[in-house]
């Protein structure tokens, strides 16, 4: 992937120098569930789960130290900032064509734990988007998990992670997040199904951004395969098989490997967000 370093940090909140206690949390069920959620990009952040609920950013508290980073972490930071800025520029051009104006999200870099308007975010949850403060949260060590546990390596695989979370921000702008939350509350028996459709649409939106990078010749040989591999590696079926030895489709919240690959590919090939209506019926 041809990307440039030294991108604008205006939408980046770097909290990696902060240290805070690990008390509290999002109430997601403890270590085992937290680990599983980490492997599928976090849990149900739509409903919040504690902490501030007024749309403001809760401060992490604790001591603040200068940020030191390894060369590998610096490279991941630079790539994440590039994808953030590039994806937001793309959506700033795309959404007005369909009657909506894009507004920037913020990217929060942290280590171990930090506060969000959705509650305490921890590294074990994986990257997540909080609609209450319109921020994407990531501990860059997640990319170790992506590469070592799931064998999903390469710049474009990492870019897919950020682009997926920006896809959730696009859903927030379009009002999809609120509609899904209302449907989940009124039809609790369909909550998991609705979560799957929400996640698959974010995958498709990540593909829409990917289409733009292809058109601009940013992609290199093997990049698409890297991203498709990442999408497939974090399917619910594959993760359940790894962690429990069995697959329970009724408990899916993010979609199977095949579904995630299919919807990412759909956005990648079309470049059209209107092709990403995962709520229209079939998946």
Over residues 170-225, the pLDDT tens digits come to 999 999 999 999 999 999 999 999 999 999 999 999 999 999 999 999 988 888 88
Taking only the tens place, the pLDDT of each residue in 50-107 is: 333 333 333 444 455 678 999 999 999 999 999 999 999 999 999 999 999 999 999 9
Taking only the tens place, the pLDDT of each residue in 220-232 is: 888 888 888 888 8
The pLDDT of 261-283, averaged and rounded, is 90
| Calpha distance 20→61 (Å, rounded) | 6
Considering the entire predicted model, what is its pTM? 0.83
> DSSP string spanning 76-88?
HHHHHHHHHHHHH
Beta carbons of 176 and 96 less than 8 angstroms apart = no
> DSSP string spanning 98-110?
GT------EEEE-
Q: Domain residues of the chain, as ranges?
A: 12-276
The H or E element that residue 138 is part of is: strand 135-138
SS3 call for 142: helix
| Calpha distance 64→68 (Å, rounded) | 12
């Amino acid at each position: 992937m041809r990307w440039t370093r030294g991108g604008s940090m205006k939408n980046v909140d770097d909290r990696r120098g902060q240290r805070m206690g690990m008390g509290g949390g999002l109430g997601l069920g403890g270590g085992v569930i937290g680990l599983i959620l980490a492997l599928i990009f976090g849990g149900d952040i739509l409903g919040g789960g504690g902490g501030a609920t007024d749309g403001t950013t809760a401060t992490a508290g604790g001591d603040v130290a200068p940020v030191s980073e390894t060369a590998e972490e610096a490279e991941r930071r630079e790539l994440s900032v590039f994808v953030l800025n590039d994806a937001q520029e793309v959506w700033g051009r795309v959404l007005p064509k369909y009657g909506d104006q894009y507004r920037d999200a913020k990217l929060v870099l942290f280590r171990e734990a930090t506060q969000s308007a959705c509650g305490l975010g921890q590294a074990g949850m994986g990257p997540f988007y909080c609609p209450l403060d319109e921020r994407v949260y990531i501990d860059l060590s997640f990319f170790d998990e992506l590469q070592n546990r799931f064998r999903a390596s390469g710049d474009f695989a990492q870019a897919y992670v950020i682009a997926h979370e920006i896809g959730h921000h696009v859903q927030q702008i379009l009002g999809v997040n609120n509609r899904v939350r209302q449907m989940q509350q009124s039809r609790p028996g369909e909550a998991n199904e609705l979560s799957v459709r929400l996640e698959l649409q974010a995958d498709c939106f990540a593909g829409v951004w990917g289409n733009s990078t292809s058109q601009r010749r940013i992609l290199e040989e093997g990049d698409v395969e890297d991203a498709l591999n990442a999408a497939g590696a974090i399917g619910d079926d594959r993760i359940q098989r790894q962690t429990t030895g069995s697959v329970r489709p009724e408990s899916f919240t993010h979609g199977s490997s095949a579904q995630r690959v299919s919807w990412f590919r759909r956005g990648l090939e079309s470049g059209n967000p209107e092709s990403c209506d995962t709520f229209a019926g079939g998946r």
